[in-house]
Amino acid sequence: MKIEILFEDNYIIVVNKPNKILIHNSYYARNIKEATLLDLLKEEFQENYYPIHRLDRKTSGVLVLAKQKKYVAVFQKLFNSNSIQKKYLGIVRGFIETPCTIKSPVKHPDTKLYKDAETLCEPILNKQLDIAVHPYQTSRYSLVRLKPATGRMHQLRIHMNKISHPIVGDYKYGDRFHNRMFENELNCDNLFLHAHSIHFEHPLTKEKLDLYADLPLNWLKIFEKFSWQFEF
């Protein structure tokens, strides 16, 4: 699998991570044996890279990696100080008509402690299908833009479930009936959460970076079936 490179300099490499690919091996994904993103990059470029932030295995999109371990902390300071703006796209259950801000604590899986978390959700498009999904005779979906103000694990997935608009394809926090419909009727079984863009000032070169990751093919297939047209 060839990994798309969005940006590269002497310090970092920014890639468009495919969905269903782990960034690296971890305790939480110890049963998954497929090659990780770091494995694929090593195979392609014969280099080791060091993730600066994280994306879930089933989330696709923009990911920043350092070329040397010593640069990780330099870039992580941007995340810790909210100097990096990340924007995601999601397809969720139901119609969302107006922007909303979700402020709800998220529990850390290790410490079990709750930490404050905040997400801005902006509706873009919606679609009603004449396909019955329990308990209704039709099914409704929205394309949304999500802007996390904090970076908790699974934050966006938990927050969308919190407002009863879970992300399609989320088997942990989502709606199994809608997930099953996407599988059986639309032939799509992945999580519809995509890290679409990232914006920050490079801490070493001072270059202002605005980087965008194209949507995966399965997203384009849904856009075609939903007759959605939108310039990102």
Q: Which domains does the chain have, with CATH numbers?
A: 4-226 (3.30.2350.10)
Q: Which residues contact 112 (CB under 8 A, 6 or more apart)?
A: none
- Report residue 30's pLDDT band, with 50, 70 and 90 as the boundaries: low
User: Rounded distance, CA 188 to CA 26, Å?
Assistant: 26
Q: What is the mean pLDDT of the chain?
A: 94
User: Rounded distance, CA 11 to CA 157, Å?
Assistant: 31
Alpha carbon distances (Å) from 180 to 10, 128, 142: 45, 17, 17
Q: Which residues contact 184 (CB under 8 A, 6 or more apart)?
A: none
Q: Is 214 a catalytic residue?
A: no
Span 13-31, average pLDDT? 83
- pLDDT tens by residue, 48-100: 999 999 999 999 999 999 999 999 999 999 988 889 999 999 999 999 999 99
State the catalytic residue, choosing from 9, 39, 56, 116: 56
